[in-house]
Amino acid sequence: MKKFVASLGLFALSLSATGAYATPEPWQARFQAAATPIMEEIIWFEQYTLWFITPITLLVMALLAWCIYRYRASANPVPSRTSHNTLIEVLWTVGPVIVLLFLAVPSFQLLTSQYTPEEEPAMTIKATGVQWYWDFEYQDEENPLSFTSLLLQEGDRAAAGKENLEQYPRLLAVDNEVVVPVDTTVRVLVTASDVIHAFAMPPFGIKVDAVPGRINETWFKAEREGLYYGQCSELCGKDHAFMPIAIRVVSQDRFQTWYAAAQDDLEGANRALLAALENGGSEETVASAAE
């Protein structure tokens, strides 16, 4: 028993050092765990609607079964010719109106939240979909940063230090992750350079079309550190399945250190950040490793 408790403690320490990571699971039927307030609202709304959808579905199935059994030809050789019933007309008109009102109010509240950040975004990132990868640009007037994020090839895992398939899954891991600070409102400007793509990050509750010649806007505020995965969600060509999105959420200090190092050496900054997270190192460790 003591060994089991100790192993749990070591597991918890490893999670605290490396951070969580959200990936889809085989045969997953529900949403991924929420990392933002918007996704928490989406999960709540989905559970809320089930309280209406489930009894309505059961009622319709029961009525169909009753009609099939009660009014079958053998039991009811002379069909009813009733053409109007005031009570039934009122019930099937007023009932759906009431249900729709109960669904519409929280639905519009959620829609408003998705388009209205609670605070002015602290940073802006432009995401450009390309056949078949993503370009990212941190729109900082003083210290801009841009890079390409490509699907991590299997042969490059060792060099990138991303051999753990649980944390860096096949077809989801990338060479350069988007790094953002935790508890920070981030504006994302989404566009495309060739065909229509879609920027989707399920743990954040965002999905926006990337349309050539047009900029769509969304936002998120990640409340938990970790590595989160999304994908292009608009059929965009033969390699549509191979343009994942990876966003790493870190502390404010680690983000500032990574961002400063990435200005001169993005690969080194990524390697240093990864080493610091895996080893539980400090921000100074990130800076020294980047150098």
CATH of residue 232: 2.60.40.420
**pLDDT recorded at residue 160:** 87
Burial class, 240, CB count within 10 angstroms (exposed 0-12 / middle 13-18 / buried 19+): middle
Taking the C-alpha atoms of residue 227 and residue 182, their distance in angstroms, rounded to an integer, is 11
Q: What is the pLDDT of residue 118?
A: 87
pLDDT of residue 81: 77
- Residue 228 within any structural domain of the chain: yes
Residues in the chain: 291
Could you tell me if residue 10 is inside a domain? Answer: no
pLDDT in tens, 176-209: 999 999 999 999 999 999 999 999 999 999 999 9
Which residue, 64, 96, 115, sits at the end of a domain?
115
The answer to whether residue 138 sits within a structural domain is yes
Within a domain: 257: no
Which residues are within 8 A (CB) of 64 and not within 5 positions of it... i.e. 6 or more apart?
none
Q: Which domain holds residue 52?
A: 37-74+84-115
* Positions of the chain with pLDDT under 70: 1-21, 280-291
